[in-house]
Chain A
Amino acid sequence: MSDVSEAGRDRAAQEAQLRAVWANPSGWRYWTSVNNTQVGLWYGSAAFAFMLFAGLLALLVRAQLAVPENDLISAELYNQAYTLHGTVMMFLFAVPIFEAVAIFLLPPMLGARELPFPRLGAFGFWSFFIGGVFVCGSIFFGAAPNSGWFMYPPLATSEQAGIGADIWLLGLSFIEVASLAAAVELIVGIMKCRAPGMRVNLMPLFAWYLLIVAGMIIFAFPPLIAGDLLFEMQRMFDWPFFDAARGGDPLLWQHLFWIFGHPEVYIIFLPAIALLAMIIPTFAGRPIVGYSWIVLAAVGTGFLSFGLWVHHMFATGLPQISLAFFSAASEAVAIPTAVQIFVFIATMLAGRVIFSIPMLFAMGGIAIFVMGGLTGVMVALVPFDWQAHDTYFIVAHLHYVLIGGMLFPIFAGLYYYYPLIDGKHMSERVGRLAFWLMFTGFNITFLPMHITGLRGMPRRVYTYPADIGWDWLNLLSTVGAVVLGIGMFAVVVDVTLHRRRKPKGEQNPWNAGTLEWVSEPEENWGVRSIPRIESRYPLWDQKDLARQVHAGEWYLPDAKEGRRETLVTSVLDAEPEQVLRVGGTSYVSIFCAATLGTVFIALTFKFWVVSLLAGAAFLAGVIYWLWTGTGEIPEKEEKDIGHGISLPLYASGVKSVGWWAMFITMSGDGTAFASLVFGYFFFWTRHEDFMVGLEGPGMFWPLVALALFAAAWAATVAARETNRRGGLGLSRVLLGAGVALSIAGCAAGLAGPWSYGMDPTQHVYPAVVWVLVIWAAVHGGVGIIMQLYCLARSIAGRLTARHDMELQNVTLYWHFMLVTALITFGVVGLFPEAL
């Protein structure tokens, strides 16, 4: 009897501790919260709000096109409206909404308290929010971008006197940074923060998909960032990357944009499929059939999606042999997609399906998406695309794919996961009504557009002549759009108003099998205790698991030291490795997002000084963040997590999450760099006389720069090794030497083009040399800051022989830096000599 009550007291005490540790700040400080539940909700709500805004723009577009020769809105406003519609839907809704869902769902689904970098997650959200408001707001000042969401030069480089294109380029670069931050967080979270025993082949499919998608983001977004950089250099400083008269080529942008743009489609689509892969087994009442099939299909889709981009360029006059190759690749991607659809069908066939609102949206989504997929097969054939390209057929196709393959699954997910937000259900009646309104409205809008397009109507025209066969089709589309809008509105009403009247439901209302359903909506701690997982559907297969988790009978049931903690496990087998202390509530996330946002916004208006000051503030913020929030030396070596397991509180090198984050970030960074190098060789292939008789940068300075950077790298590696052996003093000397060598390396690198007086506005050759050299120098500069940071940590006693995480990560950075220097200076210094 007394044992029981003692256990009860212990449990209550643990819960009080956990509650205090994971509590959100109150009042306006609530917004400084970094908890994944809050950040996920804000992220999702903001993305949803941006989607509604872009939906209104679509209605404006449809209103203008309702009748021929309409003059409801001006051509200029129309162009801004459709550009912003596409831009917002792609960059501010479709990608962020999944980052939101993932940030919200993944920790409980993986059995983690938190993702490994909560402050980074919050930073990503605030960057996204600030950038999104900036981009959306522009239309109220008539300054929105107006050349289409893919911003083709030379229209977007020269046409616009205003700042619309700059808002697009800088605002979205900023948002891409946020997406990359989220991707790093998700990859490390999925690889390193799963519950013990959750081997990769037991991972929930949602986690598999998000891992694939986040990996795709790391390799797909950087080419666009590189493209944005070139584009903005042309707009701001007249460097002629896309100006044909000075050796540039508008097609380079199309390549860089679509190398991003096509994977982007799958980055949007795969997480939606992932939601269906969670929903369908639940309502079929059985595990998914063909787990390995669907995982392999998703991986295959991810890989193939990087080899399809040219199918957006079939009409640009590329050689037929390349068209044939990309046509075949585009057809091939239909195969893994078909596998995924048939996995769902097979699962339903083998189970007993309960047809609920989430299933209604799921089935509707599949019906629409399959149609979009089939028209996709059609447009992937080159001859048909010569006709369909840039017409309303494409508009119809892409909306079938995105709305069927993304929006409907999102709504299915909303209805399915809503109980996890506040323990209540959304209205079944409103849901059914909304579904049918949306489904009918959608088809009335977009089915006729196939015909409109085949009857020759190009996309992006703000008006059209009467009586050439487009009138009634367009009117029909507009009517459908209104119906679709009403359907969406019904859901909004349901989310914002109706739920207040609903009673609280039970914990796992759908009787789902996956771990996220043990999380308690009213608690912030994710999971009460972290269980050992032995099945893909632990709530079905591991009897009594939910109770045990809630009773705190599993790992890490307490927060004795008053710190936010979660488990780190090994990548493949998920064996426990470390207790990770994650960052808590802090201003740094908002501060850094706001200052970085100011940098980009000030650049748009060419307020150089403001931009510079904000950049300095951002840097200070980041250093403060790192200094106070990371690499902390714990008060003890190990912590007991229960069941006789004691885990270290500190890890460095390949075992630490920070090392993985650095590795992943630098992979993305390296991809952006590779895109610039691609640009260099692209221009070389375009011109018989690549250098057009221009001199520079010679061999001498590039090779000197390379030697200096190599020496700086060697000094950094040596500093790490001596530090590890306890030679702190020598390590500091080596770091200091590294700094000096890096400074010299940057100077030598810039001296190459400088000494030849290469003028980047004269021709694309000097421009592309400068861009590569500046890229290397800026990375050298970041490397210097890192070396200085380690030096300071060492002197402050926060970096020791045992606790050397910072130095390990900085050395990893320098490995990438060495490769960057090698390629940059090898290319600009040696390649012209080899010609």
Chain B
Amino acid sequence: MAATAPALASCSGVQSTLDPGGAEATQIATLFWVMTAGGFLIWAFVVALSLYASQWKRKSISERGAGRIIFWGGVVFPVTVLTALLAYALWLMPWLRPFGAEEGTGVRVEVVGSQFWWHVVYRRPDGTSVVSANEIRLPVGERVEFSLESADMIHSFWIPSLGGKMDMIPGRTNRLSLLATRPGTYRGQCAEFCGISHAYMAFPAIAMEPADFEAWLEQRSRPSAGVWAPSAGHDLFMREGCGTCHSVDGTEAGGTQPAGIALGRTPAAGIAGPDLSHVGSRLTIGAGLLANDEEALARFIAHSASIKPGSQMPAYPGLSPDELRAIAAWLKGLQ
């Protein structure tokens, strides 16, 4: 296992804890490699000693000697190693998640887990906020505080490449602090079993240069230009009542606003559907499920329930292919 380790670490994927792009993940990966190397040595020693004792040895040792082996192997050695390990890990904890210290600086992100998608609100230091869904963006080199809540079941918010996970529990607000160190596109996923489409509750997480991130946030704080493009899709979107659940900034589509979020409480009724204000520019749709193109959008609208079991979105198989294409084109235009 130890021999193949370096090969496994590199290029191990966009969701790998062993290919870190954040401060916490880096520290924990180091901790892991240290423990794995030490653990392997201990394991090999114990197994070799057992084999020696049971098969290879020529002469039995005295009972006194055997007693000493219990004392040194069973007590002294584990106490020493465990004390050192524990001290290291306890020292690491507040360093990894320094809550409270950076209150007020930089952007804060509120994420609400819901079956089976993520509602995301960026709170900017100037008091304004940007609503989004199913995608997390954060600046490299700046600590970002997350407030995590749930609208229904227990979910768990996790971007392995950046750091450890934190549960989203109804009735509670949990906090997480992440520091991205390397720009890139990572993948996050719900880690607590939350129902039938738990497997499809993922999201891309994009670590950007701070300037790019600011520019992105600024652009997102205004309605997309695509909103006003003359389009049959816009009219169909409104006619079919999509706006009842999905908000699109700059239109009358208000969605069901997560009123409780601002108050720091979980809305009892939940949030109906993801915000679509700039859906065209997102990397995926269906919470990390499909690559975002017009065809996938049309398919999802027509067959949401079969693509994503348990999805609350009603399927629209009655729409004609042209109508579906029109809606998809308009949505894709919301850049």
Contact = CB atoms under 8 A, between A and B. Distances in A.
A469 B268 CA distance: 38
Contact of A454 (B32, B61, B74, B266): B32
Interface residues of B, number: 90
B93 A315 contact: no
A242 to B, nearest CB: 9
B305 interface: no
A378 B189 contact: no
A808 interface: no
Contacts of A346: 66-67, 69-70
A334 B17 CA distance: 26
A324 to B, nearest CB: 5
A34 B283 CA distance: 66
B164 A386 contact: yes
A271 to B, nearest CB: 20
Nearest to B5: A451
Contacts, number: 265
Interface in B123-169: 148, 152-154, 156, 158, 160-161, 163-167, 169
B15 to A, nearest CB: 3
Contacts of B192: 152, 390
A348 B266 CA distance: 60
B104 interface: no
A324 B93 CA distance: 9
Contacts of B57: 349
Contacts of B43: 367, 370-371, 374
Contact of B28 (A154, A367, A384): A384
B39 A374 contact: yes
B82 interface: yes
A468 B55 contact: no
Interface stretch (A55-63, A121-129, A350-358): A350-358
Interface stretch (B46-54, B105-113, B217-225, B229-237): B46-54
A244 B266 contact: yes
B25 interface: yes
A463 B189 CA distance: 13
Contacts of B195: 155, 159
B173 to A, nearest CB: 8
B75 A317 contact: no
B67 A289 contact: yes
A379 to B, nearest CB: 10
A279 to B, nearest CB: 12
A338 interface: yes
Contact of B89 (A74, A248, A349, A384): A384
A391 B191 contact: yes
B94 A320 contact: yes
B172 interface: yes
Given A293-B70, A370-B46, A377-B85, A461 B175 contact: no
A12 interface: no
A332 B166 CA distance: 25
A374 B42 contact: yes
Interface string A639-664: 00000000000000000000000000
A334 B166 CA distance: 26
A677 interface: no
Contacts of A351: 60
Q: What is the interface residue range for chain A against chain B? A: 35 or more
A628 to B, nearest CB: 50
Contacts of B158: 456, 458
A537 to B, nearest CB: 14
B16 A387 contact: no
Given A338-B78, A386-B164, A462-B199, A348 B31 contact: no
Given A250-B154, A338-B75, A343-B74, A455 B65 contact: no
Contacts of A353: 53-55
Interface stretch (B6-14, B242-250, B324-332): B6-14
Interface in A308-351: 315-317, 320, 323-324, 327-328, 331-332, 334-335, 338-351
Contact of A455 (B17, B46, B172): B17
Contacts of A390: 156, 165, 191-193
A366 to B, nearest CB: 6
A413 B78 CA distance: 28
A23 interface: no
A290 interface: yes
Given A75-B196, A462-B199, A463-B199, A250 B169 contact: yes
Nearest to B57: A349
Given A154-B152, A334-B78, A341-B74, A455 B67 contact: no
B18 A455 contact: yes
Contact of A377 (B39, B191, B193): B39
B317 interface: no
Given A148-B193, A349-B53, A374-B43, A155 B74 contact: no
Contacts of B11: 469
Contacts of B310: 75
Given A335-B82, A381-B85, A155 B70 contact: no
A293 B74 contact: yes
Contacts of B63: 289, 350
A348 B1 CA distance: 28
Interface in A166-222: none
Contacts of B253: none
A158 to B, nearest CB: 8
A374 B46 CA distance: 11
A350 B193 contact: no
Contacts of B152: 154
Given A366-B50, A384-B35, A455 B28 contact: no
Nearest to B16: A455
Tell me which of B47, B169, B171 has the highest count of chain A C-beta atoms within 10 A of its own C-beta: B171
A359 B164 contact: no
A290 B169 CA distance: 48
B46 A341 contact: yes
Contacts of B78: 334-335, 338
Contacts of A391: 191
B238 interface: no
B101 interface: no
B153 A154 contact: yes
A249 interface: yes
B90 interface: yes
A352 B69 CA distance: 17
Nearest to A451: B8
B82 A456 contact: no
A367 B53 CA distance: 13
Nearest to A146: B196
Contact of A315 (B61, B85, B167): B167
Given A250-B170, A384-B89, A451-B8, A289 B28 contact: no
Tell me which of A331, A355, A367, A387 has the highest count of chain B C-beta atoms within 10 A of its own C-beta: A387
A334 B79 CA distance: 9
Contacts of B67: 289-290, 293, 346
A316 B155 CA distance: 10
A327 B90 contact: yes
B281 interface: no
9 contacts: A76-B196, A244-B266, A350-B66, A371-B43, A386-B164, A390-B165, A390-B193, A461-B198, A464-B199
Counting from the closest, the 4 A-B pairs by CB-CB distance are A386-B164, A244-B171, A469-B13, A456-B15
Interface of B: 1, 8, 11-18, 24-25, 27-28, 31-32, 35-36, 39, 42-43, 46-47, 49-51, 53-55, 57, 60-63, 65-67, 69-70, 73-75, 77-79, 82, 85-86, 89-90, 92-94, 96-97, 148, 152-154, 156, 158, 160-161, 163-167, 169-172, 174-175, 187, 189-199, 266, 268, 309-310
Given A155-B193, A377-B39, A468-B14, 5 more contacts: A315-B156, A317-B167, A341-B74, A371-B43, A383-B27
